[in-house]
Chain A
Amino acid sequence: MKKRVVITGLGVVAPNGVGVPDFTKSLKEGKSGITCHDNLKDFKFSCQIGGVPQISDEKKSQYFTDLQLRGFNSSGILYGCIAGIDAWKDAGFDMDSESQLDYDTGLIFGAATSGVEKFREAIYGVDDGNVRRLGSTVVLQTMASGVSAYLSGMLGLGNQVTTNSSACTTGTEALLMGYERIQNGKTKRMLVGSCSDHGPYIWGGFDAMRVMTYKHNESPEEGSRPMSATASGFVPGSGAGAVLLESLESALKRGAKIYAEVLGGEVNSGGQRQGGTLTAPNAEAVQRCIRKAIENSGITSNDIEVINGHLTATSKDSLEIENWSKALGRKGTDFPYINSTKSMIGHCLAASGSIECVASIIQLKNQFVAPNINCEDLHSEIEALVDSNKIPTEKTDFNFDIIAKASFGFGDVNACVIFKKFNY
């Protein structure tokens, strides 16, 4: 029989809050973490706003040794390690460099690219004929699995340690991969999550695609407007989210605090067919992903009470709502509550799935639906499908058992996970 899997630790490094207490407070208050960035202006970006978590040097020193910080220039690894260590400690474990190797815990920490600033340094060094002076950490900081390499060593994890990469689906996919590994009895615990660098070199490609908003350079906090009639592209973000997954039996045996249960989920691809492309989703595959996630969780679509959408604030938001509506067979006042964490933190790209999974679990545990900020002017196509009361613009206290979280990514890839309030 498959193992039940629960969540026993959370960690988050988000533009509007670092650490679960601060992030929870921001979710409740609808606090934006989007600010102006002069370097984007200097580089002539169309979009000059973004979401960057605030990490002091003092905070860095609490997680990294001075030696690790020498020549360190990878914001994604920084965020990932902080979130991962926080989740680990939240679950009741210590960080001790002399600890015994733990064969019962693995790590799947995703990334899209790693250490892009460090990579830039290295490219300049190589081009200057100075490869001999790059130092010893370029590979470690720029390999895709850099975050997993750093983090697993800090914690001494001995089960599978790897990095997944599936664009903006990455974090949600990592969670489901870890879930399956525990479910199948391969390990007791999996630390899962994802991270994304910040800055012009990671965001530039998106600016070039004209998919980021250029209309809010003077009003950053109003820039990220998922589901709004005046949504004009996403706002780039960065950070990391981490979740410690554990078999129910292991969690009970340890007497661990349990945030929620992972009921199930689904990962699939639209194969860039039937309207799907490298950048646009195949709607049929999205709907199938949601339906399969529900089926795999042993519930029905009517059991979904809250949805944390992907909802980036591009023209695809209406299509996403239509996909949810069709997949669930629900609309109007019968539609579940839905929100987009991106309204507060922007689109944290590879980190979005994990940060938003953490946001979903926090809302479930604390029984509230976070507000959709910047959505006072709901898009008419969305309002035609969903009653506006189901898209709250204020924090809504709500007793509920089940939340669905989905993430979709470039390459036409989809992931949907179902979390349930834990009942023994």
Chain B
Amino acid sequence: MTNDELITKLKTIIEPYIQDEVAFKTLSEDTDFINDLKVNSANLVDIILDIEDEFNIRLENEDMEKMLDVKAAMLIINTKLKA
């Protein structure tokens, strides 16, 4: 999967939870879930579950702690997919 394909999939997953449309439209690898997209921190858990379902992977508590922006999410997903 290319990075563009991965970002497209991530965007679909994240969209229901974002509260800043402008930041979402210009989403890049540097976009932060809470600071930029204004995702409610409680919803990060739901994003993790949706990612698990989409990619058929399992994310541990340690992964979740690191998954604060798009770049980190991509890195962790790619690592899991290769494992």
User: What residues make up the interface of A, taking CB atoms closer than 8 Å to B?
Assistant: 66-67, 70-71, 133, 135-137
Q: Assess the B49–A70 pair: CB atoms within 8 A.
A: no
Bound together, the chains give a CA A396 to CA B42 distance in angstroms of 53
> Main secondary structure on chain B at its contact with chain A?
helix
- CA gap between A71 and B49 in the complex, in Å: 12
- Report the Cα distance A223→B10, complex, angstroms: 53
Instruction: Provide the residues of chain A in CB contact with B45, threshold 8 Å.
Output: 135-136
B24 at interface by CB-CB < 8 Å: no
Inter-subunit contact A70/B16 (CB<8 Å): yes
Contact of A66 among B16, B42, B46, B49 (CB under 8 A): B16
Residues B42 and A136 in contact, CB atoms below 8 Å apart: yes
Checking B16, B46, B52 against A136 with a beta-carbon cut-off of 8 angstroms, the contacting residue is B46
Interchain CB contact under 8 A, B17 and A67: yes
B46 touches A135 (CB 8 A): yes
Q: Are A67 and B49 CB-contacts (below 8 A) given A136-B42, A136-B43?
A: no
Q: How far is the CA of A264 from the CA of B35 in the complex (A)?
A: 50
Query: Shortest CB–CB separation between residue A336 and chain B, in angstroms?
Result: 51
- Per-residue CB proximity of B37-55 to A under 8 Å, as 1/0? 0000011011001001000
Q: Which residue of chain A is the closest to B59 with respect to CB atoms?
A: A132
- Please measure, in the bound complex, the distance between the C-alpha atom of A136 and the C-alpha atom of B17, giving whole angstroms: 12
> B residues engaging A (CB < 8 A)?
16-17, 42-43, 45-46, 49, 52
Are A133 and B46 within 8 A (Cβ)? Answer: no
B46 — which chain A residues lie within 8 A by C-beta?
70-71, 135-136
Q: Which residues from chain B contact A67 at a C-beta distance below 8 Å?
A: 16-17, 43
Q: How far, in angstroms, from A136 to B50 measured CA to CA in the complex?
A: 12
**In the complex, A321 Cα to B52 Cα: how many Å?**
60
CA of A135 to CA of B53 in the docked complex: distance in angstroms?
A: 13
- Return 12 A-B CB contacts under 8 Å, by A number: A66-B16, A67-B16, A67-B17, A67-B43, A70-B16, A71-B46, A133-B49, A135-B45, A136-B42, A136-B43, A136-B45, A136-B46
User: Distance (Å) between the CB of A132 and the closest chain B CB?
Assistant: 8
Set of chain B residues within 8 Å of A70, measured between Cβ atoms: 16, 46
Nearest chain B CB to A71 CB, angstrom units: 8
The answer for the CA separation of A70 and B45 in the assembled complex, in Å, is: 13
Which residues of chain B are within 8 angstroms of A136 by Cβ–Cβ distance? 42-43, 45-46
Q: Which 4 A-B pairs have the closest CB atoms?
A: A136-B42, A136-B45, A136-B46, A135-B46
Q: What's the nearest-Cβ distance from chain A to residue B1, in Å? A: 24
How far apart sit A279 and B62, CA to CA, in the bound complex (Å)? Answer: 51
Of A133, A135, A136, the most chain B CB neighbours within 10 A belong to A136
Shortest distance from the beta carbon of A122 to any chain B beta carbon, whole Å:
14
State in angstroms the CA–CA spacing of A71 and B42 once bound together: 14
- State in angstroms the CA–CA spacing of A54 and B49 once bound together: 32
Q: How far is the CA of A70 from the CA of B40 in the complex (A)?
A: 14
Task: Give Cα A133–Cα B49 distance, bound, in whole angstroms.
Answer: 7
Give me 7 other A-B pairs in contact (C-beta within 8 A), A135-B45, A136-B46, A137-B42 excluded. A67-B16, A70-B16, A70-B46, A71-B46, A136-B42, A136-B43, A136-B45
Cα–Cα distance between A74 and B52 once the two chains are bound (Å)? 25
Cα(A378)–Cα(B6), bound, Å: 71
- Shortest A147–chain B CB gap in Å is 18
**Do B49 and A135 touch (CB < 8 A)?**
yes
CB contacts (< 8 Å) of B42 on chain A: these are 136-137
Q: Tell which of A66, A67, A70, A137 has the most Cβ of chain B within 10 Å.
A: A67
Give B43 Cβ to nearest chain A Cβ, in Å. 6
The docked-state distance in angstroms from the alpha carbon of A67 to that of B14 is 11
For residue B44, which residue of chain A has the nearest CB? A136
CB distance from B61 to the nearest CB of A (A): 8
Closest-CB distance, B19 to chain A (whole angstroms) = 9
In the bound complex, CA of A47 to CA of B19 (Å): 46
Q: What's the least CB distance linking A365 to chain B, in Å?
A: 41
How many Å lie between the Cα of A53 and that of B83 in the bound state?
Answer: 50
How many Å lie between the Cα of A137 and that of B42 in the bound state? 8
A133 nearest CB neighbor, chain B only: B49
List the A residue with the shortest CB-CB distance to B39.
Answer: A67
A25 to chain B, nearest CB (A): 38
What's the Cα separation between A184 and B58 when bound, in Å? 55
In angstroms, Cα B42 to Cα A35, docked, is 39
Q: From residue B33, how far is it (CB to closest CB) to chain A in Å?
A: 14
Q: How far is the CA of A135 from the CA of B42 in the complex (A)?
A: 9
Residues on A with beta carbons closer than 8 Å to the beta carbon of B17: 67
**B41, closest chain A residue (CB):** A136
